[in-house]
Structure 1
Amino acid sequence: GIFNRQNDRVYASSRHDADEHKGTNRRPSFQKKLLVWLATSKNGLSLPIIFEPGETLTHENYIEIVLPHARAEGQRLLGDDFIYQQDNATPHKHKDSIAWIKKNFPRFIDVKNWPPNSPDLNVLDYYMWDAIGHNMHWDKVKRYDSLIDEIKKGISSVSKNDLLRSVQNWSSRFFSILKTKSAYIR
């Protein structure tokens, strides 16, 4: 089934088909936000950082929590010579964040060299979060603890082949964006 998040409809040939493709979307009346940080590489996914419900990312907790973890996970997955890429979120491009990155990462792609609003170039955005969501058993999510468990299970259930294929797809996506002059790609 195809899930259209805009109007909460599932287009499928049967109820079974919709359920099979995780077409169920339950939305509580009073949603809480949950921030999860994750990195991806051709060699695997990082261990996630799961913030407290309602907590937001600031340049302070980005520097104190996320960046040291990102560096350690980059080294674990890729060795000492890797390129750190981030999007253009405000905490990411804060002058103190950039200074920390320049001092502590072997290489990184600077904000000036990365297009804003570029989900088509971010493996997490164009593939990984959907894959994780499809791997989760949403019917088991009753509280914060069970949500965390399902997120971790969803992350660990992403197959290495699917991850590698999505990372390898990056180059063709990059050239498609150049061809469309930065328009979103399909």
Structure 2
Amino acid sequence: NFTQDQKHNSQNNRCCVRNPHEVPIVAQTKFPAAVIVFGIISSDGDVMPPHFFPKGLRLDSEGYVALMRDVVAPWIKKVAAGRPYVFQQDSAPCYTSRKTQKWLSENLDDYTSPNIWLPNAPDCNPCDFYPWGAVERDTNRTACNTMAKLKARITLCFKKLPRDQVRCACSRFQSRLKTVVEVRGAYFE
């Protein structure tokens, strides 16, 4: 979820002033407009352009299969260019449904099935430990006046992700899995 408001962390953004009126005001919208984004990276450093979901959409199996069929699979086939690949996703309910699993098994070379993937494993997903944070950081430096500006900024941030850093994040996957095994699935960061 990305919002139009600038991110402000009062624990990290401190002011040393003599007069309380000198503290800069950080305006916050009561209910900022938000957009839900779907993105994919490859171990070769490729970054799929972000896919924006319509406002109010609750993604179910049918919607996810349509996204995979119409957006994701064509991008993967283009980027993989005939090379073998493994599609990795987390354990969201629409990703693990029978309908989705059937579609994945019939249409992708290989993928992580729900019985392999930990139910809650953000420490293992390269998207969670690099691109999302980098895009969110760069997107939320300043507020966006409109949803169009927010989407344009998100798209630009995805486009500017350094290929070598994306590749590095993906290459750390195996060492992160080893750490998960060492700590017996406990949180480690």
Q: TM-score range by the shorter chain?
A: 0.7 to 0.9
Does the Cα contact within 8 Å between 2:104 and 2:111 map onto a contact in 1?
yes
Q: 1:76 to 1:132 in 2, by over 3 A?
A: same
What is the letter of the counterpart of residue 36 of structure 1? V
Deviation at 1:8, TM superposition (A): 3.4
State whether structure 2 residue 86 is matched by structure 1 residue 83.
yes
Partner residue of 1:161? Answer: 164
Moved more, 79-88 or 176-185: 79-88
Moved more, 113-122 or 54-63: 54-63
Q: 1:113 to 1:26 in 2, by over 3 A?
A: farther
Question: AA paired with 1:60?
Answer: E
The alpha-carbon distance between structure 1 residues 27 and 61, as it changes in their structure 2 partners (threshold 3 A), is farther
Pairwise CA distance, 1:54: 2.5
Query: Where in structure 2 are there 5+ consecutive unaligned residues?
Result: 1-7, 17-25
Q: Which string of whole-angstrom CA distances, capped at 9 and with x for unpartnered residues, describes residues 88-146 of structure 1?
A: 10110111111111110111111001101110111111111111122326435111101
Name the Cα RMSD after superposition: 2.4
In structure 1, the residue matched to 2:20 is none
Distance 2:28 2:78 in 1: 37
Q: 1:182 to 1:111 in 2, by over 3 A?
A: same
Residue-pair matches, total = 172
Answer 1 or 2: which has greater helix percent: 1
Q: Check 1:99–1:164 CA distance in 2 against 1; reply closer, same or farther (3 A cut).
A: same
Question: Where does residue 187 of structure 2 map in the other structure?
Answer: 184
TM-score by length of 1: 0.83
Report how far residue 32 of structure 1 moved: 3.9
Question: CA 1:122–1:88 in 2, change beyond 3 Å: closer, same or farther?
Answer: same
Change (3 A) 1:137 1:101: same
Secondary structure at 1:11's aligned position in 2?
coil
Could you list the structure 1 runs, at least 4 aligned residues long, displaced by more than 4 angstroms after superposition. 12-15
Structure 1 residue aligned with 2:5: none
CA radius of gyration, larger in? 2
Partner of 1:114: 117
User: For residues 9-158 of structure 1, what are the structure 2 equivalents within 5 Å?
Assistant: 9-11=10-12, 27-43=28-44, 44-80=46-82, 81-136=84-139, 138-139=141-142, 141-158=144-161
Partner letter of residue 126 of structure 1? F
* Structure-2 separation of matches of 1:26 and 1:86: 36
- Give the unaligned 5+ runs of structure 1: 1-6, 16-24
Q: What is the distance in 1 between the residues matched to 2:56 and 2:27?
A: 19
The 3-state SS of whatever aligns with 2:184 is: coil
